[in-house]
Amino acid sequence: MLEIWGRTNSINVQKVMWTVGEIGLAHVRHDAGGAYGVVDTEDYAALNPNRLVPTIRDGDVVLWESHVIVRYLAAKYDDGGLWPTDPAVRANADRWMDWTASTLNAPMRTVFWGLIRTPVEQRDDAAIKAGVIALGRAFILLDAALEGRDHVAGERLTMGDIPVGCATYRYFGLDIKRPDLPNVETWYAGLAERPAFREHVMLPLT
């Protein structure tokens, strides 16, 4: 059976769990990281030398890095679904996964950690303000790309929606000023109706 290591409030673990939920894969998840520890053990380091979450074991296959795991699960278990068969559509989904990593993650980490996981007296307000501006610019770009589309890679949900969707949940949950994003809001409303998204992503921000 598929094994997953990671805590539920980790955005990277949420990507994997949402994927598993969409596909309907039987699995067992082990709490790891943060207050749960585990990642500091030698047994865990043998699976993931980075000592981070998530990590999966699927038979003889052990993988870490959340986007790699999402791609693997989609390709193996949902070919034609989350894993598009059309190379052009698949490349578009890949592009948005990579865009999340290259463009969205850094300012999201700054703002999320600054507002949610840092005491008020220790916050770097200038860095948070700059992060909010960078996030606004990124989401304006996403909004334009979603014009006339139901999902980031076209008509249906693909692996490309997974990382962006997880980040968008956090973005809309933060007490910050956001630009007008009608297309993102429509797309996000559709995600929020999906049972797997509600179960694995729409959790309290901690």
Domains and CATH numbers, the chain: 2-77 (3.40.30.10), 87-200 (1.20.1050.10)
CA quadruple 143, 145, 151, 152: dihedral positive or negative? Answer: negative
Q: What pairing do the DSSP bridges indicate for beta strands 2-5 and 55-58?
A: antiparallel
What is the structure's pLDDT at 64? 98
The pLDDT-based confidence of 182 (bands split at 50, 70, 90) is very high
Could you say which DSSP state residue 47 is in?
H
pTM: 0.97
Q: State the number of CA atoms in the 13 A half-sphere of 171 facing the CB.
A: 29
Q: Where are the alpha helices (DSSP H) in 26-124?
A: 42-47, 66-77, 87-99, 105-116
Could you give the CA distance from residue 124 to residue 44 in angstroms, rounded to a whole number?
A: 34
Neighbouring-strand partners of residue 4? 29, 56
| pLDDT tens digit sequence for 147-171 | 999 999 999 999 999 999 999 999 9
Could you give the CA distance from residue 38 to residue 35 in angstroms, rounded to a whole number?
A: 9
Could you say which DSSP state residue 32 is in?
-
| pLDDT tens digit sequence for 118-146 | 999 999 999 999 999 999 999 999 999 99
Which residue is associated with the tokens 């990507």? 15
The pLDDT-based confidence of 24 (bands split at 50, 70, 90) is very high
Dihedrals φ, ψ of 171, to 5°? -60, -45
CA quadruple 114, 191, 158, 2: dihedral positive or negative? Answer: positive
**Mean pLDDT in residue range 179-196:** 98
